[in-house]
């Protein structure tokens, strides 16, 4: 049957728009449906991880985000160290939040203004011919096995009413439609509630109104968690000298009470901020439970972002985890559309198990950190503070390693690099120097060190199948191969991992490692066989 498009994306937030751009870049017809008439104009997520920045660079939208200051460097502007302090401001523990070099070759974290990021993503969609249908409310979807029907409504003639507007069909549907996902509900994908919300938080975003406001505010350049049992609170630097403060709401306080101007200014005065140096951009109260969809993919329907998982804000991974979902899912759908007779259903199952493995780690860790931060009993707080001073380790998960089983040869519990995010740095080819992803492009990549010769170690038939089935590239850091490791970081990686070659997936994760030249062909064939 002929379908209206290859993929329907439900939801035009950052995860949905990024998914659309990724799939369009791979050559597919994509349509985006969003129930809201326009972007939500106020801040939500305030930082992006290096993985997201790496993705945006490959999509060609990073420089525009930087030029409009929707995205901004944090390293060198605010402290790289996050600090937990007691009620008197004494340090309890410190941990690194940022540094100059991540696995992606950039700083670990960047400040963002979500409305600006969304605007740039949607502009890119429209410029590249991706239809974004707003005020289009998806009511349900039906997976017919060979295609998916998406039923949606658009505004009627009377304000506030909706009228049915036909059905659109697609080979695949991706639900990026948030915590109350219609796609998840109508696909009957179950939800596991790990733990109900146990605290409420007042979130306040302040815009500086005078030059140098950050230097006037207490802790203006330092990310801090203040573990005061009278009122736990957080101080978070943001984009363009904005500041986010979060205050735990006590049981006897109503939402209406804590969102008044009087109450908000009273709270931010704790950080020496007032109407003379800042303006309230946003104030809201929220509480977030922890949970995840029991499966992230079912048939021709998949979930990403908040539709697939929810966690409290304490690790700052909500949006970033959704963008990882988008990248991990896009190449799988690309494979399914190009090779419908191959084992794409196993790939979708792998997506679910891989992302669930990481999801469970960060959701459970975020809830554990919530319990550490939200102690209000004075005696319990004294005990908690003593434990932190004695070196109590915060449950920070490894978010750069995939769950198992999956489309890789690794084990999440092992220390091996297999199943982990692969490094990126600058390389040179034909006198062109740039980040690896920019020089090579999208797809599977088999990378060999300066001692290996990929052309001589694989049969011609294997090389052809690697190119035809996986869209794979061969990168040889040797004089014959023509690629130069500019910084030496790749050669160091090979040395540290006692490897001669590594097979990297399109989402930058390591599929497997070859320890000797004789292992290279078997490594490539194992990936091919996984999809046969």
The reported pTM is 0.94
pLDDT at residue 162, as a whole number: 61
- Do 507 and 445 lie in one domain? The reply is yes
Domain with 316, as residue range(s), is 5-74+107-192+290-361
Residue 410 lies in a domain: no
Give the CATH number for residue 301.
Answer: 3.50.50.60
Residue 502 lies in a domain: yes
In the chain, the percentage of residues whose pLDDT exceeds 90 is 74
CA 505 to chain centre: 17
268, 286, 304 - which closes a domain: 286
Nearest C-alpha neighbor of 501 from the set 450, 461, 447: 447
- Write the burial class of residue 198 (CB in 10 Å: 0-12 exposed, 13-18 middle, 19+ buried): middle
**How many Cβ atoms are within 10 Å of 412's Cβ, its own excluded?**
17
pLDDT at residue 451, as a whole number: 85
- Do 295 and 433 lie in one domain? The reply is no
pLDDT at residue 503, as a whole number: 98
- Do 213 and 181 lie in one domain? The reply is no
pLDDT above 90 for 452: no
- Do 22 and 131 lie in one domain? The reply is yes
- Do 206 and 279 lie in one domain? The reply is yes
pLDDT above 70 for 453: yes
How many domains in the chain?
Answer: 3
Which tens digits make up the pLDDT trace of 367-392? 888 999 999 999 999 999 999 999 98
- Do 256 and 354 lie in one domain? The reply is no
Residue 295 lies in a domain: yes
Residue 405 lies in a domain: no
Which tens digits make up the pLDDT trace of 345-367? 999 999 999 999 989 988 888 88
Q: From residue 407, how far is each of 94, 417, 501 by CA, in Å?
A: 36, 14, 18
251, 286, 321 - which closes a domain: 286
Which tens digits make up the pLDDT trace of 103-112? 999 988 898 9
- Do 212 and 344 lie in one domain? The reply is no
**How many Cβ atoms are within 10 Å of 98's Cβ, its own excluded?**
22
Angle between helices 50-59 and 14-25 (to 10 degrees): 40
pLDDT at residue 317, as a whole number: 78
Residue 392 lies in a domain: no
Q: From residue 217, how far is each of 206, 221, 245, 273, 278 by CA, in Å?
A: 11, 9, 12, 6, 10
* Confidence at 478, pLDDT banded by 50, 70, 90: confident
The rounded distance, in Å, linking the Cα atoms of 502 and 515 is 9
Give the CATH number for residue 501.
Answer: 3.40.30.120
Q: Output b/e per residue, 251-267; b: 16+ Cβ within 10 A.
A: eebeeeebbeeebbeeb
Which tens digits make up the pLDDT trace of 206-241? 999 999 898 899 987 889 999 999 999 999 988 878
- Do 309 and 245 lie in one domain? The reply is no
Give the CATH number for residue 253.
Answer: 3.30.70
- Do 19 and 159 lie in one domain? The reply is yes
CB half-sphere exposure, 82, CA atoms < 13 A: 18
Residue 523 lies in a domain: yes
List, in order, residues 6 or more apart from 330 with CB less than 8 Å away. Answer: 19, 22, 23, 26, 506, 507
**How many Cβ atoms are within 10 Å of 2's Cβ, its own excluded?**
5
329, 361, 393 - which closes a domain: 361
- Do 342 and 486 lie in one domain? The reply is no
- Yes or no: say if 473 and 443 are a contact pair by the CB < 8 Å rule: yes
Residue 504 lies in a domain: yes
- Do 239 and 347 lie in one domain? The reply is no
- Do 9 and 143 lie in one domain? The reply is yes
Residue 96 lies in a domain: no
pLDDT at residue 276, as a whole number: 95
């Amino acid at each position: 049957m002929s379908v209206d498009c290859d993929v329907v994306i439900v939801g035009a937030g950052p995860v949905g728009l990024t998914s659309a751009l990724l799939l369009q870049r791979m050559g597919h017809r994509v349509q985006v449906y969003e129930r809201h008439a326009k972007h939500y104009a106020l801040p939500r997520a305030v930082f992006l991880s290096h993985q997201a920045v790496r993705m945006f660079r490959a999509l060609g939208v990073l420089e525009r985000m930087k030029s409009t200051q929707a995205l901004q460097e944090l390293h060198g502007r605010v402290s790289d160290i996050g600090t937990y302090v007691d009620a008197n401001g004494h340090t309890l523990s410190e941990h690194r939040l940022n540094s100059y070099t991540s696995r992606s070759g950039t700083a670990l974290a960047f400040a963002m203004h979500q409305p600006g990021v969304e605007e740039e993503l949607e502009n890119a969609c429209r410029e590249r011919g991706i239809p974004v249908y707003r005020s289009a409310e998806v009511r349900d979807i039906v997976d017919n096995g060979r295609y998916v029907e998406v039923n949606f409504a658009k505004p009627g003639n009377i304000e506030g009413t909706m009228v049915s507007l036909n059905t659109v069909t697609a080979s695949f549907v991706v639900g990026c439609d948030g915590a109350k996902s219609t796609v998840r509900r109508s696909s009957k994908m179950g939800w596991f509630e790990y733990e109900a919300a146990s605290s409420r938080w007042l979130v306040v975003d302040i815009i500086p109104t005078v030059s140098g406001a950050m230097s006037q505010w207490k802790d203006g350049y330092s990310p801090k968690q203040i573990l005061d049992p009278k009122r736990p609170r957080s101080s978070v630097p943001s984009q363009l000298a904005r500041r986010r403060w979060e205050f735990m709401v006590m049981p006897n306080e109503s939402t209406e009470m804590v969102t008044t101007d009087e109450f908000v200014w009273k709270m931010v005065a704790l950080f020496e901020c007032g109407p003379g140096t800042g303006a309230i951009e946003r104030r809201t109260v929220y509480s977030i439970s922890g949970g995840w969809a029991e499966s992230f993919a079912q048939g021709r329907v998949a979930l990403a972002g908040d539709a697939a998982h929810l966690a409290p804000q304490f690790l700052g991974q909500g949006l970033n985890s959704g963008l990882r979902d988008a990248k991990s899912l896009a190449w799988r759908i690309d494979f399914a559309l190009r090779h419908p007779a191959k084992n794409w259903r196993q790939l979708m199952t792998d997506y679910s198990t891989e992302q669930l493995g990481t999801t469970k780690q960060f959701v459970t860790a975020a809830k554990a950190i919530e319990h550490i931060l939200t102690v209000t009993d004075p005696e319990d707080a004294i005990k908690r503070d003593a434990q932190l001073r004695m070196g109590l380790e915060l449950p920070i998960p490894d978010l750069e390693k995939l769950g198992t089983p999956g489309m890789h040869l690794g084990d999440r519990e092992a220390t091996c690099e297999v199943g982990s995010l692969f490094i990126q740095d600058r390389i040179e080819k034909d006198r062109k120097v740039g980040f690896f992803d920019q020089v090579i492009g999208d797809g599977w990549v088999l990378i060999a060190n300066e001692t290996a010769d990929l052309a001589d170690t694989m049969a011609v038939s294997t090389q052809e199948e690697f190119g035809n089935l996986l869209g794979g590239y061969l990168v040889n850091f040797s004089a014959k191969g023509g690629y130069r490791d500019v910084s030496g970081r790749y050669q160091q990686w090979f040395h540290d991992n006692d490897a001669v070659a590594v097979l990297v997936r399109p989402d930058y994760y390591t599929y497997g490692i070859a320890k000797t030249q004789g292992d290279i062909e078997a490594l490539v064939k194992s990936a091919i066989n996984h999809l046969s």
